[in-house]
Amino acid sequence: MRKEKEQVIELRKERKSYREIESVLGVPRSTLSGWLRGESWSSEVKKELVNINKEKSRQRIDFLNVKRKEKLKLLYQEARTKAAKEFLYLKHSPLFIAGIVSYWGEGDKTSKGNLKLSNTDPIMIKSFIHFLKRVCSIKEEKIRCGLLLYPDLDEYECKQYWLQKIGLPIGNFTKTMVIKGRKPAKILHHGICNVVVSSRYLKEKMLIWLNLLRDEFDN
């Protein structure tokens, strides 16, 4: 046992962890803990090993983040290339043109990860939802709707109105936002409806489609 303990101390001073010592000598970690408990130099070794492991973990996370960014960069480039090819035949579809023109006028162009269109006209909202489903192959459960209301509008009545008009189930609606700091005025009888799809891939395609459609109109 004395020889084993001496070997343990020697390996520990070489900055080996309990797991590594157990692997080499076969001494259980519970025994190692008992032998080295109270040894200040062993506690310092433990701190060093903890810091080394933290640095290794940080480096691994950094490495994975770099790889993830590279993978996403290729994915979004694929989306842009695919969008350019699809435009050649999609531009003959009235639904496609309606969807792109609607987004051109009323859609969010700044955020990276969301495709968002806002309007007070249920026909525009409904046609854009058809565009998302039929042209972009977005599943219904991925399409979210939110209402923006003035304080004097009844949330229940407005939500029932939009439910009937656009055909999405109640589960697709997110929390209603109320415009504060303004005098109650029924300028908008049923509020503003926001349609949102969270997809950076689709957003990249939409921006390409918008640019290509602009070029078509310009020519």
Q: Dump strand ranges (E) for 86-180.
A: 114-119, 144-149, 177-178
What's the pLDDT band for 134 if we cut at 50, 70, 90? very high
How far, rounded to the nearest angstrom, does the alpha carbon of residue 45 sit from its chain's CA centroid?
41
Per-domain boundaries in the chain:
2-65, 92-218
- pLDDT of amino acid 180: 78
Mean pLDDT across the chain, nearest whole number? 87
CA angle, 213 then 217 then 219, to 5°: 115
Residue 51 CA to residue 45 CA, distance in Å, equals: 10
Percent of the chain at pLDDT exceeding 90: 55
Its pTM stands at 0.71
Side-chain-side CA neighbours of 215 within 13 Å: the count stands at 10
Least confident of 39-43, 158-162, 208-212: 39-43
How far, rounded to the nearest angstrom, does the alpha carbon of residue 69 sit from its chain's CA centroid?
13
Least confident of 5-14, 73-82, 118-127: 5-14
Q: What is each CA distance from 41 to 12, 21, 36, 62, 166, in whole angstroms? A: 9, 16, 9, 32, 71
SS3 at position 195? strand
- What integer is the mean pLDDT of 92-110? 95
- pLDDT of amino acid 169: 93
